[in-house]
Amino acid sequence: MAESDNILAVPRHIAIIMDGNGRWAEERYRPRLFGHKAGVDSVREIVETSRTIGIEFLTLYAFSTENWNRPPGEVTGLMGLLKRYLQSELKTMLKNDIRLCCVGQQNRLPTDVQAVLHQTISETQSCQSMTLNLALSYGGRSELVQAVRHLAQKCQDGVLQWQEISELSISEHLFTAGQPDPDLLIRTGGEHRLSNFLLWQTSYTELYFTEVKWPDFRKDQLIEAINIYNRRQRRFGKIGAQLQAE
């Protein structure tokens, strides 16, 4: 029986910190970009699998605000991979009814990447079976700063009272406005931290850490993570007995 036949239920929203490309390449005495290229193959397989098993939202941390500090050659290489990925995947996204969204500071990306990104976002905007969020130049703290500034501006303009600021209104000013919070966050590559990813949205997200480096994280590893998620009890602050009574 295939691993995928064992799934009990799928989370609505999975977020992934795709870590370990560089070390995967170094283990093979190859340049870091070789690992990122292999990482793109994992992206393809994970997007396809997620769509097939019925994940509604998949958020991939492809480039953080801090990643701009990497050596210029690596940044340029990653931007090139991203552009080629978007160009090559448009047809597949349309065929599989996948809507592309970007979470992050799109305006910091190179103009040619922005152009392909805008085109892919606009051509897939009415696709409904799955939303693929690419986190690009994304930072959770800067996302919150931007949300707070928007809310403050609305208060100053008199269109919002400060007393009306709520968890919902903050959520509505984030890049993920209108989307459910992640149910499951996966981090590959053996580190156990959030690295400024979806800080607000992950307050009740189940965390799953694996030693497997991103280029080796494929369909079977995703199914295993979901099966482990399914064995957990999400209590949202309540006690187990209350949940059983519901």
Q: Is 41 noted as a catalytic residue in this protein?
A: no
Between 188 and 205, CB nearer to ligand FPP: 188
> Considering the rule CB under 6 A, would residue 82 count as an interface residue with ligand FPP?
yes
| Rg of the chain over all Cα atoms, to the nearest angstrom | 19
Between 7 and 194, CB nearer to ligand FPP: 194
Catalytic residue among 6, 19, 183, 216: 19
Shortest CB 114 distance to ligand FPP, Å: 15
Q: Which residues contact residue 103 at a Cβ distance below 8 angstroms, ignoring those fewer than 6 apart?
A: 59, 133, 134, 135, 136, 138, 143, 175, 176
Q: Is 19 noted as a catalytic residue in this protein?
A: yes
Q: Which of 43, 109, 184, 226 touches ligand FPP by CB under 6 A?
A: 43
Shortest CB 197 distance to ligand FPP, Å: 11
Near ligand FPP in 127-166, by CB under 6 A: 134
> Phi, psi (5° rounding) for residue 140?
-65, -40
> Considering the rule CB under 6 A, would residue 55 count as an interface residue with ligand FPP?
no
Shortest CB 122 distance to ligand FPP, Å: 18
Distance CA 106, CA 9 (A): 34
Q: What does the DSSP 8-state code read for residue 164?
A: G
Q: Which residues contact residue 164 at a Cβ distance below 8 angstroms, ignoring those fewer than 6 apart?
A: none
Catalytic residue among 5, 41, 67, 183: 67
Distance CA 32, CA 23 (A): 8
Structure tokens at 44: 């393809």
Near ligand FPP in 205-244, by CB under 6 A: 214
Kindly provide the residue ranges of all beta strands, DSSP E only, lying in the chain, ordered along the sequence: 13-17, 57-64, 98-103, 130-138, 184-187, 206-209
> Considering the rule CB under 6 A, would residue 18 count as an interface residue with ligand FPP?
yes
Catalytic residues: 19, 67
**Which positions lie near ligand FPP, rule CB under 6 A?**
18-23, 36, 39-40, 43, 60, 62, 67, 78, 81-82, 85, 134, 189, 214
